[in-house]
Amino acid sequence: MASLIAGGDASSFSSKSTLQFLAFEAAKTMSRLVALYNSLSDDEFFKLRQGPVKSCGVAFLNSADESYLLELACKEKLEDLGQAVAVVSRLSKKCIDEELNRFEIAYQKVTQGVMEIGNFNFSSRNVGKNIKKMEKYVNTTSALYESLVALNELEASEKKMQKWKISKDYFNQNITFQRKQVVHFKKVSLWSQRFDTTVGLMARIVFAVYSRICTIFGPFVPSLPCFYIPRRKALNMKVYPEANYCLLVDKDKYMKQASKSGPLMKASKTKPRSAEVNALGFQIPVIRNKRLIQSAPAGTVGAAGLAFRYANLIIMAESCFHTATSIGEEVRENMFEMLPISLKRALRRKLKGKWGEESDGGQGLAQGWKEALEEIIGWLAPMAHDTLRWLQERDSEQQKLNAKPTVLLLQTLHFSDLEKTEAAIVEVLVGLSYIYMHENRRERLADGCFWL
């Protein structure tokens, strides 16, 4: 597959057909690939291991097992890459170059361990140049899209003015300028690029990204193909000591051993690596058709379908905590109605049980609840925000050409233990009830309870 591996000028391909309207889908795919490429650098992987994977909320509600969490991250990145591969495969069918036309087969051979992927050097100069080209194409194609939308609006206004017999002299200059902008961006964007040029560019990044995923996640996901890197190449790689087939450059920064502690809730589902490896040193991967979002184990928030609801509820509670003196009855009712019946009953039981413990020194009790809630909300709210951000980013990908996801599913409530999450929510609502009772005496209910 010389056309895929070569780092030369992509303009050498011989296709005469251009993308035109398919440019927008290609731009979305390029944006996805660029985001994936950037997220797999040494520094980003180090941040992932020391940030989200080690965060208090993720460790308590999801798992404290680093290997399990990194396996989730790997699966999500492979899914993102798979969506890009599907588009590249479709576009490759329109290529003239026979090797590009067989891109889908080549990718399958790589993932099955039949084709050597060590040739796709993630950090090579040519890959860096291709990434910059893709970023430029994404920006110019995005500008083309915006210009087309603006032109469409101007032309619609022009037709209305003709219908109403209003002078359109004012619009002529703007419309003429906008049409010139469209012509310009069509020339410099993916609109005028050949299928061979575009597919050749994206295919090389696909293989570079896949080889990088195998490199950095291999020690945590045994089903990934394993491959051996020559010592001369390993000298330029910075990963971590778990990858014993390469050397480290910055040991102090990257020599962080993977956590071997068991998970708080769900254990990793991966099977031990088989000793059966083919002649090239590849492990044949286990094919998983189930999407990551559908694989939340029983007993998790995601499996119960409550991630979005609980995220909104937690964010509302966070807002109430920071504005406790102005909590309205409507807001309280809305929060209460967001609770499942079982959680409503649990909240009421806990409130009735604790309310009898109140004494005249309730102000001190409220202050104690403030300190407790500040700590709980401190690790619970970020997960709620990340849950909504994850959904928004995936939804925005349908709207924008240059959407770049920044949150992984492991950072959200999707894989959180349902019992622990609900217990934390009840604790927050009970605390808010105490705080409200002592800081809003004029509006407190007859029995002094926030949600009774």
Q: What is the pLDDT of residue 253?
A: 43
CB 191 within 8 A of CB 185: yes
State mean pLDDT over 54-69: 96
pLDDT, tens digit, 9 for 90 and up, residues 10-51: 444 443 589 999 999 999 999 999 999 999 999 999 999 999
- Judge whether 66 and 167 are in contact, CB under 8 Å: no
In the structure, what pLDDT confidence band is assigned to residue 291 with cuts at 50, 70 and 90? Answer: confident
Give the integer Cα–Cα distance in Å for 350 and 236: 59
Instruction: For residues 371 and 355, give the distance between their C-alpha atoms in angstroms, rounded to a whole number.
Output: 19
Residue 383 confidence (pLDDT) above 80: yes
Please identify which residue in the block is written with the tokens 């037709």.
Answer: 159
Exposed e or buried b per residue across 139-162, where buried means at least 16 C-beta atoms within 10 angstroms of its C-beta: bbbbbbbebbeebeebeeeeeeee
Whole-number Å distance between alpha carbons of 106 and 95: 15
**Above 60 in pLDDT, residue 113?**
yes
Spatial neighbors of 10 by CB under 8 A, at least 6 apart, are 130, 133, 196, 197, 198, 200, 201
> What pLDDT does 376 receive?
95
Q: Is 300 helix (H, G, I), strand (E, B) or coil?
A: strand
pTM for the full predicted model: 0.79
Q: Could you give the CA distance from residue 55 to residue 384 in angstroms, rounded to a whole number?
A: 13
Distance (Å, rounded) from C-alpha 41 to C-alpha 216? Answer: 9
Tell me, what's the pLDDT at 350? 85
Choice between 364 and 197, residue whose per-residue pLDDT is larger: 197
The SS3 assignment for 296 reads coil
Average pLDDT over residues 82-94: 95
Is 141 a residue whose pLDDT tops 50? Answer: yes
Q: Please report how the helices 169-188 and 125-163 are oriented relative to each other, as an axis angle in degrees rounded to 10.
A: 160
Question: What is the pLDDT at residue 286?
Answer: 36
pLDDT band at 167 (very low <50, low <70, confident <90, very high): low
Q: What is the pLDDT of residues 231-267, one digit of tens each?
A: 444 444 454 444 433 323 343 443 343 333 323 333 3
Is the pLDDT at 328 greater than 50? The verdict is yes
